[in-house]
Amino acid sequence: MSEQFRPNIVAFLCNWCTYAGADLAGTSRVQYPANVKIIRVMCSGRVNPLYVVNALQQGADGVIISGCHPGDCHYMEGNFYARRRLKLLKELLEFTGVDPRRFTMSWVSASEGHKWKEVVEKAVEDVRAAGPFDQFQRRQIGW
């Protein structure tokens, strides 16, 4: 059964590093699981923690957030803020009983197409182990 479960993962990628890294993985023909839906944001510091909550509410089984390595941010310090903020979000989600494996954060630079592949493979494996996440899904309101 778990073999058939195909996780639905939303990835918020920084425009300058990880998005370019994922692009490199594509142009280099690196094979990685097709379970991630990539959303490009201008910086990992742009990721409002409510994006993550909203993604989980709208049916994502896991979330990846990835940006530049510390010190490499295009906006100098955006990823430092993201690091603090998302650490707290991770703790909060864990405290409320969301499996910590559903939340992945990584630093992937524009030249690390292979690292991106590893991150995705690990995330897919983790989320697959954690199973589908439908307890939190937004209920459709019928009038």
Partner 1 sequence: MDLDKLRKTAAEIVSRDDVKYLIGWRRGTFGYRVSPHFVRDAAGADELIFSPLCISNLANYLTLVEKLPVPRGQEPDTRKVALMVKGCDSRAVAQLLAEKGIKREEVVVVGLPCPGMIDRKLLAEKYPETEQAAEIRWRGEDFVLVDGEEETVIPRAEVLAEKCRLCRHPNPVLSDVTVGEPVEPWAAAEDSGVAEIMAKNAEERWAYWEEQFSKCIRCYSCKNACPLCYCEDCILDRLDPIWVNRSVNFSENTAFHLARAFHLAGRCIECGECERVCPAGIPLGKLNRMLAQTVREEYEFEPGLDPEAEPFQASYKPDDPEEFIL
User: Pick from 53, 72, 114, 121: which binds partner 1 (CB under 8 A)?
Assistant: 53
C-alpha span between 143 and 131 (Å, rounded): 31
Whether the CB-CB separation of 12 and 66 falls below 8 Å is answered with yes
Length reported for the chain? 143
Q: Which stretch binds partner 1 (CB under 8 A): 3-11, 21-29, 35-43, 50-58?
A: 50-58
Across 42-127, the runs of DSSP E, i.e. the strands, are 62-67, 103-107
**Site residues (CB under 8 A) for partner 1, limited to 68-97:** 70-71, 77, 80-81, 83-85, 87-97
Phi, psi (5° rounding) for residue 11? -120, 125
Smallest distance from the beta carbon of 14 to partner 1, in angstroms? 13
Across the chain, the runs of DSSP E, i.e. the strands, are 9-14, 36-41, 62-67, 103-107
Smaller CB separation from partner 1, 23 or 99: 99
C-alpha span between 89 and 2 (Å, rounded): 28
54 binds partner 1 (CB under 8 A): yes
Smallest distance from the beta carbon of 141 to partner 1, in angstroms? 6
Binding residues vs partner 1 (CB under 8 A):
49-50, 53-54, 57, 70-71, 77, 80-81, 83-85, 87-100, 104-107, 118-119, 122, 135-139, 141
